Amino acid sequence: MSDIIAYKVNDVIIDTQSYSGNGGEPIYFDNSKQALEVIRHSCAHLMAEAITKLYKDAKFFVGPAIEDGFYYDFRVTKENGEKLGESDLADIEKKMKELAEAKIDIIKICSTKKEVTQKFKNDDLKMEVLKRIPDGEVSIYSQGSFEDICRGPHVPNTKYLRFFKLTRVAGAYLGGDENKEMLTRIYGVAFADRNSLNEHIKMLEEAKKRDHRKLGVEMKLFTFDEQIGAGLPIWLPNGARMRSKLEKQLFSAHRNRGYEPVRGPEILKADAWKISGHYTNYKENMYFTNIEEQEYGIKPMNCVGHIKVYQNEIRSYRDLPLKFFEYGVVHRHEKSGVMHGLFRVREFTQDDAHIFCMPSQIKENVLEILSFVDNIMKIFGFEYEMEISTKPTKAIGDDKVWEIATKALKDALDEHNFKYGIDEGGGAFYGPKIDIKITDALKRKWQCGTVQVDFNLPQRFELAYIDQNNEKQQPVMIHRAILGSFERFIGILIEHCAGELPFFMAPQQVVIIPISENHENYAKEIQNKLQNTDIDSEIYNKNESLNKRIRTAEKARVPMILVIGDNEVENKTVALRDRRARTQSNISLDEFLKLTKEKLDEVHF
Which spans in 354-479 are helix H?
362-380, 399-415, 456-460
DSSP 87: G
pLDDT, one tens digit per residue, over 424-479 is: 888 888 888 999 999 999 999 999 989 998 988 999 999 999 999 999 999 999 99
pLDDT-derived band of residue 27, with 50, 70 and 90 as boundaries? very high
- 226 and 357: one domain? yes
So which residues are the catalytic ones? 303, 332, 350, 352, 354, 433, 479
Instruction: From residue 257, give the alpha-carbon distance in Å to each of 251, 306, 325, 327, 526.
Output: 10, 18, 11, 16, 36
pTM of the model: 0.85
Q: Is the bond preceding 392 in cis, omega lying within 30 degrees of 0?
A: no
Cβ neighbour number for residue 544 with a 10 Å cutoff? 13
Gyration radius (Cα) of the chain, Å:
28
pLDDT, one tens digit per residue, over 236-283 is: 999 999 999 999 999 999 999 999 999 999 999 999 999 999 999 899
- Long-range CB contact pairs, 584-591, < 8 A, 24+: 589/526, 589/529
212 annotated as ligand-binding: no
Q: What is the pLDDT of residue 146?
A: 92
For residue 166, the one-letter residue type is: L
Backbone angles phi, psi at 348, to 5 degrees: -155, 170
Last residue of a domain, one of 439, 474, 495: 495
Instruction: From residue 571, give the alpha-carbon distance in Å to each of 10, 19, 522, 562, 596.
Output: 77, 82, 11, 14, 20
- 155 and 272: one domain? no
Q: What is the dihedral of CA 497, 502, 508, 511, to 10 degrees?
A: 90
Q: What is the pLDDT of residue 369?
A: 94
pLDDT-derived band of residue 488, with 50, 70 and 90 as boundaries? very high
Contact 482, 251 (CB under 8 A): no
- 446 and 554: one domain? no
Instruction: From residue 98, give the alpha-carbon distance in Å to each of 103, 104, 158, 187, 307.
Output: 9, 10, 10, 19, 62
- 472 and 377: one domain? yes
Last residue of a domain, one of 445, 479, 495: 495
Cα–Cα nearest to 401, from 451, 463, 454: 454
154 annotated as ligand-binding: no
- 205 and 220: one domain? no
Contact 298, 331 (CB under 8 A): yes
Contact 289, 333 (CB under 8 A): no
Q: What is the pLDDT of residue 83?
A: 82
pLDDT over 80 at 1, yes or no: no
Cβ neighbour number for residue 62 with a 10 Å cutoff? 21
- 447 and 580: one domain? no
| CA distance linking residue 199 with residue 161, whole number of Å | 17
Number of domains in the chain: 3
204 forms bridges with which residues in the sheet?
none
Domain boundaries, position 121: 4-209
Please state whether beta strands 537-539 and 472-473 pair in parallel, antiparallel, or not at all (unpaired): unpaired
Q: What is the pLDDT of residue 511?
A: 96
What is the CATH classification number for the domain harbouring 586?
Answer: 3.40.50.800
- 235 and 184: one domain? no
| CA distance linking residue 318 with residue 463, whole number of Å | 16
| CA distance linking residue 2 with residue 159, whole number of Å | 13
What is the CATH classification number for the domain harbouring 165?
Answer: 3.30.980.10
pLDDT, one tens digit per residue, over 169-210 is: 998 889 888 788 999 999 999 999 999 999 999 999 999 999
| CA distance linking residue 393 with residue 400, whole number of Å | 15
Cα–Cα nearest to 389, from 431, 353, 350: 431
Contact 347, 232 (CB under 8 A): yes
**Cβ contacts of residue 256 below 8 Å, gap of 6+?**
none
- 117 and 247: one domain? no
45 annotated as ligand-binding: no
Contact 540, 563 (CB under 8 A): no
Contact 353, 309 (CB under 8 A): no
Give the residue-averaged pLDDT of 495-500: 95
pLDDT, one tens digit per residue, over 113-152 is: 999 999 999 999 999 999 888 888 999 999 988 999 999 9
| CA distance linking residue 200 with residue 207, whole number of Å | 10
**Cβ contacts of residue 579 below 8 Å, gap of 6+?**
500, 554, 557, 558, 559, 560, 561
- 117 and 56: one domain? yes
- 230 and 320: one domain? yes
pLDDT, one tens digit per residue, over 498-529 is: 999 999 999 999 999 999 999 999 999 999 99
Q: What is the pLDDT of residue 338?
A: 79
CA dihedral sign, ordered 207, 209, 213, 219: negative
3-state SS class at 193: coil
- 154 and 176: one domain? yes
Cα–Cα nearest to 522, from 559, 575, 591: 575
- 199 and 223: one domain? no
pLDDT-derived band of residue 401, with 50, 70 and 90 as boundaries? confident
Mean pLDDT of all residues in the chain?
93
Cα(first)–Cα(last) distance of the chain, in Å?
50
Give the residue-averaged pLDDT of 151-168: 95
Q: What is the pLDDT of residue 605?
A: 84
3-state SS class at 323: strand
Last residue of a domain, one of 180, 209, 238: 209
